[in-house]
Structure 1
Amino acid sequence: MSISRAMTYAKMNTVTGIDSADPHTLVQMLLDGAIEKINKAKYSIKSQQTNKKGEFISWAISIIGGLQASLDIEKGGEVAQNLNDLYEFSVQHLVDANIENSEEKLDNVLKVLTNISDGWKGIREEVVESKKNNANSL
């Protein structure tokens, strides 16, 4: 398979995954995407690719902004507020990392997002079970 075909397949697989994903999976995909972009920004700092670093950090900020915008503080209460605070911290550290070329600040954000992602993965089973129970009660 040629590189071009492989890339097309990968893009199609991602789009198909998004089309068939439930909201819980979409959040997980966004978290994974932000983590990936931050890791690419770290590599860009190491390889002195300033433009690429800025692009990857900007992309990560956009993803986190989308996650933050999806929070319902009123319904989500303390958990949603805590996530909001963590997202604010992450965005600020990403901005600072971009300005300072700081891998340390990128690592701080990676720790936060990885913890959120791990927690999100951990509640997956609860979400699926809850949906089954709600569907059965209709």
Structure 2
Amino acid sequence: MYPAAMTSPFGRTGALAQAYRRIGAETSVVDADPHRLIELLFDAYVDSLVQARGAIQAGQTEAKGKAISRAARIVDEGLKAGLNLDKGGRLAADLRDLYEYVSLRLVLANVRNDLAILDECSRLIEPLRQAWKDIRPTALRAVN
């Protein structure tokens, strides 16, 4: 199990769980460790972009707005808010900057109904999402 405070660019378990609940994620987070919580945020972000893309293609303005808003909240209130800038150093600062950029691009995608910007937002986060999934076995071994 993970210790209460992680030595990574990310914050405590409780803060991540609260952020995850705030953004309306549907998966139970009661027993999730900090690593899994972030993984769930990445997955929910991808799902939101897929929903936004479908809504734009179907001309469903309200659904598009909700999906993009959810993606932006995941980035702002989940991923970015979960960063520990004090302990995370340069990595946390770089992630914060990336998340701020993605948030701005999501707003623009929403206003313009722009699929290309949604694709860009997906391409920017996907390597982080995959890397996070890839390090899970290593992260679990490090705390056990």
Give 3-state SS (helix, strand or coil) of 1:14's partner. Answer: coil
Aligned equivalent of 2:86: 74
1:34 aligns with 2:42: no
Amino acid across the alignment from 1:43: G
Structure 2 distance, partners of 1:87, 1:14, is: 23
Bigger helix fraction: 1
- Choose the corresponding residue for 1:118, options 130, 133, 139: 130
Determine what percentage of the aligned residue pairs are the same residue.
36
Return the index of the structure with the highest Cα Rg.
1
1:61 aligns with 2:67: no
Structure 1: state its 5+ residue gaps.
Answer: 1-12, 133-138
Aligned equivalent of 1:23: 34
* Structure-2-length-normalised TM-score: 0.79
Q: How many residues align?
A: 118
Amino acid across the alignment from 1:59: R
Structure 2: state its 5+ residue gaps.
Answer: 1-25
Deviation at 1:52, TM superposition (A): 0.6
Give 3-state SS (helix, strand or coil) of 1:20's partner. Answer: coil
Give 3-state SS (helix, strand or coil) of 1:42's partner. Answer: helix
Instruction: Specify which structure has the bigger relative contact order, considering alpha-carbon pairs within 8 angstroms and separated by 6 or more residues.
Output: 2
